[in-house]
Amino acid sequence: MHIYKVGGAVRDRLLGRPVSDIDWLVVGASVEEMLAKGYRPVGADFPVFLHPKTGEEYALARTERKSGRGYGGFTFHASPDVTLEEDLIRRDLTINAMAEDEAGTVYDPYNGQQDLDQRLLRHVSPAFAEDPLRVLRVARFAARYAPLGFRVADETLELMRLISASGELQALTAERSWKEIERALMEAQPQVFFQVLRVCGALPELLPELDNDTQGLAALEQAALHEEALHVRWACLLHTLPPASIKAVNQRLKAPRECQELALLTGECLAKAGQAPELPATAVLELLQKFDVYRRPQRFEDFLIACEMTALGEGKSGYPQADYLRGAAAAARAVDVKPLVQAGLTGQALGEALKSERLKALEAYKLG
C-alpha cells in the first residue's frame, strides 16, 4: 500500500500558504486491510477512514460515477487496483490533483504545478461535471486566490456554463450550497465568488435575486477588507433586496440564524438608520426597540457596521449616522429601571414608564 498527501495540502504548500488540514490517499489497499490496521470507517458507503491516532482522513483511491444513492448522491468504486492517476483524474482542478509521497516527491500527472505557476484554475477532465458543487468550489477558489492573480481557465468557465445551463445546480442540497457560500464569504475577495458565478450563469440558478446587483457586492467587498464577521458579510451582500426576498434567500439556503436575522433587520432598517440624525426621537426609539438593543447590544453594533460597509461600498468616505446611533443607544440604555420599580410600577405600566424615560433621554441626546 502507498500513502500520499493529496489535494489542498499539496497545493497550499506549493503556493507557500499555510496548510490547515491534510487529506491522505491510500493506493493499493482494501477496506479490510484498513480496518485491520485500526483505521476507523467514516460512514458506510464512502471509502474514507480516520487514522487511529491522528484522526486525519485517509481515503482509498477510487473512481467515481454518478448515481442516485450513496454519500452525497454518489457511489464509489474503490479497490486496490485503482491507480494514483485514476484517482487524481476524477478530481476537480489540476491544482488539486497533485499528490506527494513520504519522501516529498510530488506526483503531478495533470500539470497542476504549471497551472499554479500560470495562476489558472483549470478542470482536470470531463469528470469535473460529475459533481455540480464544483461550480461553486471553483468560484470559491477564485475568490480565495484572487489576490495572487488566479483566474478561471476559459475552457473551465465554458464547462461551468454548461453545468449551470443544464439545471443541475438545482439538485444541490441547501446544506452543501450554503457550506460553499459560507466559506466563500469568508475569503479574501468574496465578491469574486459571486462575479464568477454570474459570468458562468450559475447566479440566476442559485441566487437569482442578486443577478443584477452591484451594491451588495461592493458592500461585501468592504466588509471583507475590514475583516468583518460572516453574518455582517451576509447582511451586506443582501442589503439592497426587499425584505421578502431576503427572507426567501435565507430560507432557501438555510442560512444560520444569526445570518438570517442580521440580513433581514439590515434590509428592513438600513434606510431609517441613514436618516437617523433627522428622525424624531420616537422613530429612533422604535429602531432601538426593534433591535432589542437593551438585551442584544452587539446585534445593533453589527447592524451599524453593516450600514458603514454599505456606505463605503457606495464610495462615501464614512457613515456618521453610526456614531450618532451608538450615542443614542447608549443614552437609551443608560435609563435606570430601578427608580421606576421602587416607585411601585410593574407590568405594562413599568414598560410604558421605561419607554417614556428612554424617549426623554433620546430627546435630550438630540438636543445635546
Using DSSP bridges, classify how beta strands 99-100 and 2-6 pair: parallel, antiparallel or unpaired.
Answer: antiparallel
Residue 220 beta carbon to ligand CTP: minimum distance, rounded to whole angstroms: 19
Of residues 131, 187, 261, 308, which one binds ligand CTP by CB under 6 A? Answer: 131
Count of alpha carbons within 13 Å of 32, Cβ hemisphere only?
A: 1
Stretch that binds ligand CTP, among 90-98, 153-161, 210-218, 254-262 (CB under 6 A): 90-98
Rule CB under 6 A: is residue 91 a binding residue for ligand CTP? yes
Rule CB under 6 A: is residue 62 a binding residue for ligand CTP? no
Rule CB under 6 A: is residue 205 a binding residue for ligand CTP? no
Output phi, psi for 152, to 5 deg. -85, 130
Residue 126 beta carbon to ligand CTP: minimum distance, rounded to whole angstroms: 13
Rule CB under 6 A: is residue 23 a binding residue for ligand CTP? yes
- 86 versus 301: smaller Cβ distance to ligand CTP: 86
The residue whose Cβ lies closest to ligand CTP is 8
Known binder of ligand: residue 292?
no
Rule CB under 6 A: is residue 86 a binding residue for ligand CTP? no
Known binder of ligand: residue 12?
no
Stretch that binds ligand CTP, among 109-117, 132-140, 307-315, 332-340 (CB under 6 A): 132-140
Which of 125, 237, 255 is closest to 192 using CA atoms?
237
Rule CB under 6 A: is residue 108 a binding residue for ligand CTP? no
Of residues 87, 92, 205, 213, which one binds ligand CTP by CB under 6 A? Answer: 92
Rule CB under 6 A: is residue 7 a binding residue for ligand CTP? yes
Residue 141 beta carbon to ligand CTP: minimum distance, rounded to whole angstroms: 7
Known binder of ligand: residue 137?
yes
Known binder of ligand: residue 11?
yes
Q: Whole-angstrom Cα distance, residue 333 to residue 174? A: 39
Known binder of ligand: residue 183?
no
CB–CB of 154/201 below 8 Å?
Answer: no
Residue 298 beta carbon to ligand CTP: minimum distance, rounded to whole angstroms: 29
CA distance to 185, 336, 349, per residue, from 88 (Å): 28, 66, 71
- 23 versus 56: smaller Cβ distance to ligand CTP: 23
Residue 89 beta carbon to ligand CTP: minimum distance, rounded to whole angstroms: 10
Known binder of ligand: residue 140?
yes
Known binder of ligand: residue 333?
no
Of residues 5, 122, 134, 358, which one binds ligand CTP by CB under 6 A? Answer: 134
Give residues in contact with ligand CTP (CB under 6 A): 7-8, 23, 91-92, 96-97, 131, 133-134, 137
Write out the binding residues. 8, 11, 21, 23, 91, 137, 140
Write out the binding residues for CTP. 8, 11, 91, 137, 140
Write out the binding residues for ATP. 8, 11, 91, 137, 140
Write out the binding residues for Mg(2+). 21, 23
